[in-house]
Structure 1
Amino acid sequence: MPALTIPFLPMALFAASLSLAPGPVNLIILSTALNHGVSAPLRFITGATVGFTALLILTGLGLSATQALPDGAVDVISCLGALVILYFGYGLLRAEGTLDTRQIPVPGFWQGAALQWMNPKAWIACLSGVALFNLQGKTLELMQFSALYFIVCFCGIGAWAVLGHNLTRLLNTARRRRVLNIGLGLCLMVLALSLSAPALLRLIGLD
């Protein structure tokens, strides 16, 4: 088995800070666990982790957005991702706050994986991580970093499921749950618009 050739602690801290930071993926996990239980977002968490890790590996191997895709393709992907995030946000806005939460969608594995590829935050994290640790074309170091990131990412975004589940103890009335669902829905919609705004401006030629 090859020896560890990467700066473990700095990479782990980098992965943890980005995985734990609020973002569309984490807010979807939080809302899913809040409304459906701690195990409900597990497939979405797994898909998001796999999707991000695959994007990180391809980025490190040289298939970055500017190299692998035609002009404007990443911007189109970002806008499509924003539509997915808006869909989840709208679902939360419509939720009544009752214990019957069947109207709130439970995201699955492929939604989590696809959303990472459509998430500008994930692209920035991959590109900055590869550049920061000088991993471009270094296959062994890249694979070690990707394996480390997989573990940290799974635990980091999974922590939001635990948080959502624990919040159910405080949100024991329909009114409280309704207020939080509205807040999370609005946050998701604002995030979707803010993340996709630069891409949309470029596509319509205003940037």
Structure 2
Amino acid sequence: MLVTLPQMAAFLAAAMLITLSPGPDNLMVLSQGISRGRRQGMAFGLGCALGCLNHTLLAALGVSALIAASPPAFAALKLAGGAYLVYLGWGAIRSPGASFQADGAAGHQGSLAATFRRGLIANAINPKVVLFFLAFLPQFVNPAQGPVGLQTAVLGTLFTLQGAAIFGALGYFSGHVGQWLARSRKASQWLDRAAGAIFISLGLRLILAR
């Protein structure tokens, strides 16, 4: 068997603890849900989770190791990821404020597909996640059970699925909080500005990190 049930159970337990622990992805999903509504929060969270498939593919093919071993490539990816988060944050700060509807969706914030893409890109080009997958997945791979690349792909897919469930739930419940807080356009503007500040701080932190 390529991945045994005990191996899978141990991996999922560790993956869920890591996903639930406070971190940049959680902050981004929560800020999106609170400032833009539960549907937007869920869409962004699912995008973040599915961005892990990119890191799974890179790890399975050995590309992650090449990026980590190349300082110029890693620096370029870090700058691109940080700049994209700053761009998202600046857009949120300039927002006129969401108009929350009865279903918790923000009226002016664009399509759910666009929000999903923002989450997907934000995660897919994050070099810290590249390093995390490179360090985390191999700990649960057993070369005696079959091809290492295939085991890595299976485990990465499992990580993505549990991440989608957890981030989707975070987006949903944070959207309820946002709907309760956003009683006026003025309050909604400040929620967007707070979300924008979180994105910009995370982007600058990524760019300046050694």
Shared fold (TM-score greater than 0.5)? Answer: yes
**Conserved in 2, the CA contact under 8 Å of 1:55 and 1:117?**
yes
Q: C-alpha separation between the residues in 2 aligned to 1:80 and 1:164?
A: 28
The aligned residue for residue 10 of structure 1 is 10
The aligned residue for residue 112 of structure 1 is 119
Q: Given the alignment of the two structures, is residue 154 of structure 1 paired with residue 128 of structure 2, yes or no? A: no
Residues 135/37 of structure 1: CA separation in 2 closer, same or farther (3 Å cut): farther
The aligned residue for residue 103 of structure 2 is none
**Conserved in 2, the CA contact under 8 Å of 1:65 and 1:74?**
no
Q: 2:137 aligns with which of 130, 140, 160?
A: 130
**Conserved in 2, the CA contact under 8 Å of 1:6 and 1:141?**
no
The size of the alignment, in residue pairs, is: 199
**Conserved in 1, the CA contact under 8 Å of 2:42 and 2:167?**
no
TM-score normalised according to structure 2 size: 0.74
TM-score normalised according to structure 1 size: 0.75
Q: C-alpha separation between the residues in 1 aligned to 2:126 and 2:52?
A: 10
1:52 Cα deviation after fit: 1.1
Kindly provide the amino acid, as one letter, of the partner of residue 175 in structure 2. Answer: H
1:90 Cα deviation after fit: 1.6
Q: C-alpha separation between the residues in 2 aligned to 1:19 and 1:68?
A: 22
Percent sequence identity is 22
- Of the structure 1 ranges 70-79 and 31-40, higher mean CA displacement relative to structure 2 is found in 31-40
SS at match of 2:176: helix
Residues 135/153 of structure 1: CA separation in 2 closer, same or farther (3 Å cut): farther
1:154 Cα deviation after fit: 0.6
- Of the structure 1 ranges 81-90 and 2-11, higher mean CA displacement relative to structure 2 is found in 2-11
1:125-182 CA-partner distances (Å, limit 9, x unpaired): 2122124334686134323312311211111221221132111343042344333333
**Conserved in 1, the CA contact under 8 Å of 2:35 and 2:195?**
no
1:3 Cα deviation after fit: 6.0
- Of the structure 1 ranges 136-145 and 179-188, higher mean CA displacement relative to structure 2 is found in 136-145
1:197 Cα deviation after fit: 0.7
Higher helix share: 2
